């Protein structure tokens, strides 16, 4: 089973860990969160992440690191830590990605990465429909006795 490490701007990593524990309490043993504080240097973020990865590696031989925003301090630190073989990095973490990673943590790392990515992209969708312009909310039938005419 792969270990999972979330690295994000504080308090997002801890919040995502709490969401994971809420829904999958039996699967969060190998999940470690690193909240990168605003005053931390890049070196401090990397040191904290290395400690977290070593902690997660205690129970797993492969690690998936989930970072919040590509190019920001958490993902930059993760890029220096991830070796690309046993420790992989995926940026843009969201709740569907995390849940999918938890559900498939026993799969090989390459497949786990694909499952996490598909969870992230399939979890983002429009959930409401915009009202058509210049039309009433409720259609009124064409009833000549009420003077509703369609042209």
Determine the topology of domain 3-122 in CATH: Rossmann fold (3.40.50)
Tokens 């524990």 belong to 21
Tens of pLDDT, residue by residue over 17-27, are: 999 999 999 99
CA 7 to chain centre: 11
How many CB atoms are closer than 10 A to CB 108? 11
Residues 124 and 68: their CA atoms lie apart, in Å, by: 15
Is pTM beyond 0.95? Reply is no
Nearest CA-CA partner of 93 in 21, 17, 2, 3 = 17
Domain limits, the chain: 3-122
Tens of pLDDT, residue by residue over 33-65, are: 999 999 999 999 999 999 999 999 987 889 999
What pLDDT score does 136 carry? Answer: 59
Tokens 């991830």 belong to 82
């Amino acid at each position: 089973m792969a270990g999972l490490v979330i690295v994000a701007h504080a308090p997002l990593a801890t919040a995502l860990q709490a969401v994971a524990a809420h829904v999958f309490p039996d699967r969060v043993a190998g999940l470690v969160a690193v909240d990168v504080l605003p005053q931390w240097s890049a070196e401090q973020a990397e040191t904290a992440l290395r400690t977290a990865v070593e902690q997660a590696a205690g129970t797993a031989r492969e690690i998936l690191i989930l970072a919040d925003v590509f190019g920001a301090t958490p993902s930059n630190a993760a890029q220096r830590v991830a070796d690309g073989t046993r420790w992989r990095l995926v940026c843009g973490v969201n709740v569907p990605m995390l849940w999918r990673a938890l559900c498939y943590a026993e799969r090989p790392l390459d497949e786990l990465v694909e499952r996490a990515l598909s969870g992230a992209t399939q979890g983002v969708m429009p959930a409401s429909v915009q009202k058509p312009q210049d039309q009433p909310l409720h259609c009124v039938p064409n009833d000549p006795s009420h003077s509703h005419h369609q042209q």
